Amino acid sequence: MRWIVCIKQVPDTTEIRIDSRTNNLVREGIASIMNPYDCHALEAALQLRDQHGGQVTVVTMGPSQAEECLRDALAMGADEAVLLSDPAFRGADTLATSYTLAAAIRRLAPVQLIFCGKQAIDGDTAQVGPELAEWLGLPHIAGVEYLVVKANNITARREAESEYYLVEANLPALVTISRTMNEPRLPSVWGRLRANRTPITVWTGEDLDIDPNRIGLAGSPTRVKRIFYPQHQRQTQIRQGNAEQLSNWLVKTLAEERLL
Amino acid sequence: MDFALSLDQKGLGKDIQEFSRRFLAPIAAECDEKQEFIPTEIWNQMACLGYCGLPIPLEYGGAGLGALDTLICLEAAGKGGAAAGHLLSWAVSTVLGSIPIIKFGTPEQKELYLPRIANGELICAFCLTEPDAGSDAGSIRTRAERSGDYYVLNGTKAFITNGPIADLCLIFAVTDPDRGSEGISAFLVESSFPGFSRGKQLDKMGIRCSPTGDLILRDCLVPAANRLGPEGQGFKTVAHHTLEWERANFSFFLGVMEYNLQTCIKYARERIQFKRPIARFQAIRHMLAEMRVELDAARLMFYRIGWMIDQGLVPAPVQASSAKYFLTRALKKNADYAVQIHGANGMMKEYPVERTLRDYKIAEIGGGTTQIQLDIIAGNIIKS
Ligand SMILES: Cc1cc2nc3c(=O)[nH]c(=O)nc-3n(C[C@H](O)[C@H](O)[C@@H](O)COP(=O)(O)OP(=O)(O)OC[C@H]3O[C@@H](n4cnc5c(N)ncnc54)[C@H](O)[C@@H]3O)c2cc1C
Ligand SMILES: Cc1cc2nc3c(=O)[nH]c(=O)nc-3n(C[C@H](O)[C@H](O)[C@H](O)COP(=O)(O)OP(=O)(O)OC[C@H]3O[C@@H](n4cnc5c(N)ncnc54)[C@H](O)[C@@H]3O)c2cc1C
């Protein structure tokens, strides 16, 4: 019985730098971490494994340095780790990423439940999880903050803006996990030492049953044309008057700014 | 020569720093104010993660780390922003509590105590100092007289780290008053043994998160099986062969220095005076640079000590005392500059830097004063 967790390595900084020519992230010289959402996804998978048995397999697609976040996952308690690494995977958008992940997960069948983070803190599209489910023909529940697995069935609560949904699905299925779901465990010293001694499986394009035109830049219909920092402007006005004058002024101003 | 950290060292450092950031840093100020040790639930969590048994062999439930790995773990906890006092107490319990048993314990003593140190059940203390024997530790007067299957201990131990909370105390006492320091033996004394009592917790200027107090032994009955090492070898062997570890234990201060430095860099970039960040002023930049240089030098000296212990290149009194001596100097400057860079805010308890200016003093006094470290170095290089 396999619990699969897809993890993405992301830059550990809020000051993301962008290559002005390619519009891609500059990853050199920036410390990387496991996407924080994926820590919660992994924690959820580890808890289910501890309850129901089986093994947790973590999968990432990325350059060879992505091994580091796989080691972190192993240190937290994952049983095995797969790195999808091939120059041909480079430049993938969410469609090519989910396509490649799907091919890897087919090789890992049979699976019980697939976990993704709700979104990645860099790309932030929240698309990979749902797309992956579509490629695999599985039901998915996105933004999960609570879940129960019973026999061949999952019940999950997913967050929405002002309400929540209780959703049921048959297994195998895919869930994307919200950060409110749990508190991820820290690796123990023993876990860390074991992780460093666990071999990591590396698959290239040749190990997967894939169409070369659907991976990497070639398989990516999306082009990020421009990435920019939004300009935040702050204007302060200090006004005096009684409560009535001030509230009248405030309402009028907000209305003029179309904020009311 | 390879200066790169191993995969284990990097990973363990990262994990422990994160633990410290999440669980120890947030309680530092309040525990400092109230003179409180790490709360039990956090201590138990540390034990579950393996932190209470870092150097204890795997077969006794520890993590089985070497000296260099252990001191990198202590350093990492400092980097995360934990209070130095918490780290001192933890290091004393985990390292000084276990190393003498690992090195000199009988199989029964190891079996009895090491697993319970590793699982957090036993907090340990290392008890040498007495009211009239500080730097001159060989002049202790606590007596241990053999009586059948027991030793009867009488005397007072002073300024003992973890004294108010320790469950297991390594106590040095005189078994043969005629033989000077060769008449001293070491004993594993449980706080539940009859005749053991504690003085009150002392009120200190710094390192307040580490409880310190006196221990009073009045006809304290210690089973003969709890003598650690041969009779008469307490000082010459047990204490002396723990010296390098005792010095290396202060490595948590490397992390405290790093934390202060990073805090200062951030502050200096954000604080604006004369229309620019104070980080633009050469006087500030040079302070930050000096902090960095001296931290680096201290770190290398500590890593060398860890490495020498792991290679069996001990005793290494010159290198060990040099490392502690230099760390202390660097730390004092680091603490002073950190407050200076923060200006008035630096003196405020709201900011974490003032604590180090009170805490650093333990490095100059505990585990052999600065003067004694220099004496040891001089004695060894001049040889007369
Ligand atoms: C600033 C920026 C903007 C971008 N905008 C777009 C865009 O608009 N459209 C587009 O198609 N691409 C875009 N990309 C590219 C996109 O980030 C990545 O190519 C894609 O691989 C992952 O998408 P995401 O980061 O948005 O992941 P999300 O869909 O937000 O990630 C959700 C979850 O999917 C899993 N996951 C994602 N990536 C991987 C991976 N490599 N390995 C394993 N699991 C993974 C993780 O569990 C993760 O938590 C953008 C990239 C950047 C840096
Ligand atoms: C917070 C704290 C925790 C402690 N924890 C422990 C513990 O866990 N276990 C333990 O056994 N002890 C502990 N100690 C005691 C500590 O080890 C002693 O304080 C230290 O060894 C110095 O002894 P003293 O205080 O008696 O000073 P003294 O020996 O009286 O020294 C006074 C001054 O004289 C100087 N001096 C002394 N002799 C010489 C000399 N020959 N040459 C030059 N200068 C000299 C000293 O450097 C110092 O400046 C702790 C102390 C403190 C403050």
Interface confidence (ipTM) of the complex: 0.95
- What is the Å distance from ligand 1's center to A223 Cα? 13
B11 inside 8 A of chain A by CB = yes
- Half-sphere exposure (Cβ direction) of A141: Cα atoms closer than 13 Å: 27
Which CATH number belongs to the domain containing residue A27 in this structure?
Answer: 3.40.50.620
- What is the Å distance from ligand 1's center to A33 Cα? 15
**How many whole angstroms separate alpha carbon B354 and alpha carbon A242?**
45
Superfamily of domain B7-118: Acyl-CoA dehydrogenase/oxidase, N-terminal domain (1.10.540.10)
- What is the Å distance from ligand 2's center to B133 Cα? 8
- Beta carbons of B7 and A189 less than 8 Å apart: no
Q: A with B: how many residue pairs have Cβ under 8 Å apart? A: 38
Q: Which residue of A has its CA nearest to B54?
A: A189
| E strand or H helix at B270 | helix B252-270
Q: Which residues of B touch A72 (CB under 8 A)?
A: 11
Of A27, A32, A38, the residue nearest A90 (C-alpha): A27
Q: How many domains does chain A have?
A: 1
List the single best residue of B7, B52, B266 to mutate versus A (max A Cβ within 10 A).
B7
Q: Which residues of B touch A187 (CB under 8 A)?
A: 11, 15, 49
Query: Which CATH architecture best describes the domain B239-383?
Result: Up-down Bundle (1.20)
Which residue ranges have their beta carbon within 6 Å of ligand 1? A 6-8, 25, 35, 37-38, 59-62, 92-94, 97, 101, 116-117, 119-120, 122-129, 222, 224, 227
- Beta carbons of B50 and A75 less than 8 Å apart: no
**How many whole angstroms separate alpha carbon B134 and alpha carbon B158?**
9
Please provide the distance, in angstroms rounded to a whole number, between the alpha carbons at the two ends of chain A.
Answer: 54
**How many whole angstroms separate alpha carbon A12 and alpha carbon B25?**
20
List the single best residue of A15, A193, A196 to mutate versus B (max B Cβ within 10 A).
A193
* Nearest-ligand number for the alpha carbon of A11: 1
List the single best residue of A13, A185, A189 to mutate versus B (max B Cβ within 10 A).
A189
**How many whole angstroms separate alpha carbon B327 and alpha carbon B321?**
10
- Beta carbons of A186 and B19 less than 8 Å apart: yes
Ligand 2 touching residue B117 (CB < 6 A): no
CB A61 within 8 A of CB A92: yes
pLDDT of amino acid B304: 97
> What is the position in ligand 1's atom list of the atom closest to the CA of A91?
19
- Beta carbons of A188 and B48 less than 8 Å apart: yes
- Beta carbons of A186 and B15 less than 8 Å apart: yes
Numbered residues of chain A with Cβ closer than 8 Å to any chain B Cβ:
71-72, 75, 186-190, 192-193, 195-196
CB A101 within 8 A of CB A6: yes
- What is the Å distance from ligand 1's center to A95 Cα? 9
Show me where the domains of chain B are located: 7-118, 124-232, 239-383
B7 inside 8 A of chain A by CB = yes
B65 inside 8 A of chain A by CB = yes
* For ligand 1, mutation pick of A19, A124, A135, A136 (most atoms within 8 Å of CB): A124
Q: Whose CA is closest to atom 47 on ligand 1?
A: A116
Task: Please tell me whether residue B314 adopts helix, strand or coil conformation.
Answer: coil
Check for a shared fold between B7-118 and B124-232. Answer: no
Looking at the domain assignment, is residue A231 inside a domain?
no
Kindly give, in sequence order, each residue whose CB lies less than 8 Å from that of residue A38, ignoring residues fewer than 6 positions away: A5, A6, A7, A8, A69, A116, A117, A120
Token pair, residue A191, equals: 């876990």
Give the single-character DSSP code of B130: B
- Beta carbons of A186 and B49 less than 8 Å apart: yes
Contacts 24+ apart (CB under 8 A), B318-322: B318/B376, B318/B377, B318/B380, B318/B381, B320/B243, B320/B244, B320/B247, B320/B248, B321/B247, B321/B368, B321/B373, B321/B374, B321/B376, B321/B377, B322/B373, B322/B377
- Beta carbons of B15 and A196 less than 8 Å apart: no
* For ligand 2, mutation pick of B32, B89, B135 (most atoms within 8 Å of CB): B135
- Residues of B annotated as part of the active site: 246
Residue in this structure with the two tokens 């039901």, named with its chain if needed: A139
Mean pLDDT, each 10-residue run in order, chain B (384 residues): 94 97 98 98 98 98 98 98 98 98 98 98 98 96 97 98 98 97 97 98 98 98 98 94 96 98 97 97 98 98 98 96 98 98 97 96 96 97 86
- Half-sphere exposure (Cβ direction) of B343: Cα atoms closer than 13 Å: 8
Q: Which residues of B touch A189 (CB under 8 A)?
A: 12, 15, 49-51, 54, 63, 65, 73
Distances (CA, A) of B132 to A148, B138, B158: 65, 11, 9
Min distance B12 CA to chain A CA atoms (Å): 7
- Beta carbons of A186 and B18 less than 8 Å apart: yes
CATH for B124-232, options being 3.30.460.80, 3.30.360.10, 2.40.110.10, 3.40.50.300: 2.40.110.10
Looking at the domain assignment, is residue A244 inside a domain?
no
Is the pTM higher than 0.90? yes
- Half-sphere exposure (Cβ direction) of B4: Cα atoms closer than 13 Å: 3
Looking at the domain assignment, is residue A243 inside a domain?
no
Looking at the domain assignment, is residue A153 inside a domain?
yes
pLDDT tens, position by position, for chain A (260 residues)? Answer: 899 999 999 988 655 667 777 766 676 777 889 999 999 999 999 999 999 999 999 999 999 999 999 999 999 999 999 999 999 999 999 999 999 999 999 999 999 999 999 999 988 899 999 999 999 999 999 999 999 999 899 999 998 888 999 999 999 999 999 999 999 999 999 999 999 999 999 999 999 999 999 999 999 999 888 777 677 778 788 899 999 999 999 999 999 988 87
pLDDT of amino acid A14: 59
Amino acid (1-letter code) at residue B94: T
- Beta carbons of B11 and A196 less than 8 Å apart: yes
Of A103, A86, A96, A85, the residue nearest A222 (C-alpha): A96
B57 inside 8 A of chain A by CB = no
List the single best residue of B5, B8, B79 to mutate versus A (max A Cβ within 10 A).
B8
Domain that holds residue A90: 2-214
Ligand 2 touching residue B317 (CB < 6 A): no
> What is the position in ligand 2's atom list of the atom closest to the CA of B163?
8
